[in-house]
């Protein structure tokens, strides 16, 4: 009987050794595959030529006319990433309201890989443009805003709002008073025909697994005002001044660039 017990004990010990020996060394386990998606964010800033816009200083257009800024806001939609092979990855359903108080936008996860740029529209598609902003949650950029980004007479949203002041004196000698010139300047661009597509296809970047990607985009106010004579062309609500509104809107595609 003692011999049998010894044999059973020995067998149990051998089984334990075998089982232990079959356990996988944690170091030998296969590494987890790298994530094929990573978070993307867009970061915006306004410039006037080579100067950052601070809403305090005065700036000079490409035609040497002086102006200040107090508000720059615009809607951005129809965003697509352009892959290195030219194909696109659309970020459907994204509507951004870019202004000085909200300049960072986290757009969620996108495929890792190499990209040569991105595309977007300044403005809002026709169907969405004519919806009632009061039907959206207050946190939605398409909801009613302060200052308002929607015309109450149902012509739709203001796609881009630029406000400030400008020097309209013949000699260009107006002096700032409380940070503004004596003549107000504003461009409120809207209506379906004034959406403009922006294509930034020559600014390659990569999105890699494990590292959130930030793409920095600048808006050049001097480019937006290029060819505009601020002495006489300085106020537009779009309706009634469609030629001026169109002139500013046509400058939109050249006003944006990706900061390397």
pLDDT digits (tens, 9 = 90+) for 47-72: 999 999 999 999 999 999 999 999 99
Q: 108: number of CA atoms within 13 Å, CB side? A: 8
Contact 178, 208 (CB under 8 A): no
Q: pTM to 2 decimals?
A: 0.86
Tokens representing residue 53 in the block: 């816009």
pLDDT digits (tens, 9 = 90+) for 206-237: 999 999 999 999 999 999 999 999 999 999 99
Residue 109 pLDDT greater than 50, yes or no: yes
Contact 111, 207 (CB under 8 A): yes
Residue 133 pLDDT greater than 50, yes or no: yes
Question: What are the residue ranges spanned by the domains of the chain?
Answer: 37-258
How sure is the predictor about 101, in pLDDT bands with cuts at 50, 70 and 90?
confident
pLDDT value at residue 131: 93
Strand (E) positions, 33-181?
Answer: 37-48, 51-52, 58-60, 66-83, 88-90, 96-98, 104-111, 113-122, 150-151, 156-166
Distance of alpha carbon 226 from alpha carbon 254, whole angstroms: 10
Residue 258 CA to chain centroid, in angstroms?
11
Across the chain, mean pLDDT equals: 89
Q: Which residues of 155-191 are buried (b: 16+ CB within 10 A; e: fewer)?
A: bbbbbbbbbbbbbbeeeeebeeeeebbebebbbbbbb
Q: Which residues contact 142 (CB under 8 A, 6 or more apart)?
A: 95, 124, 128, 131, 133, 136, 157
- Residue 235 is inside which H or E element, if any? strand 235-236
Tokens representing residue 237 in the block: 């609500």
């Amino acid at each position: 009987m003692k011999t049998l017990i010894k044999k059973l004990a020995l067998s149990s010990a051998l089984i334990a050794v075998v089982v232990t020996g079959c356990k996988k060394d944690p170091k030998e386990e296969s590494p987890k595959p790298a994530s094929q998606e990573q978070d993307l964010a867009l970061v915006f800033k306004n410039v006037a030529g080579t100067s950052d816009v601070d809403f305090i200083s005065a700036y000079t257009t490409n035609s040497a006319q002086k102006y200040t800024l107090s508000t720059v806001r615009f809607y951005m939609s129809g965003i697509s990433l352009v892959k290195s092979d030219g194909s696109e990855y659309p970020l459907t359903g994204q509507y951004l309201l870019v202004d000085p108080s909200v300049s960072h936008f986290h757009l969620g996860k996108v495929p890792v890989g190499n990209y040569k740029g991105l595309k977007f529209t300044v403005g809002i598609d026709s169907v969405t443009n004519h919806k009632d902003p009061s039907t959206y949650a207050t946190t939605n950029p398409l909801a009613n805003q302060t200052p308002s980004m929607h015309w109450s007479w149902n012509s739709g949203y203001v796609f881009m709002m630029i406000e400030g002041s400008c020097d309209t004196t013949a000699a260009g000698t107006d002096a700032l008073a409380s940070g503004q010139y004596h003549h107000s300047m504003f461009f409120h661009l809207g209506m379906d025909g004034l959406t403009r597509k922006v294509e930034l296809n020559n600014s390659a970047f990569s999105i890699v697994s494990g590292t959130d990607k930030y793409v920095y985009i600048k808006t050049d106010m001097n480019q937006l005002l290029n060819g505009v004579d601020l002495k006489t062309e300085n106020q537009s609500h779009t309706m009634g001044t469609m030629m001026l509104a169109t002139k500013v809107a046509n400058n939109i595609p050249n006003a944006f660039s990706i900061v390397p």
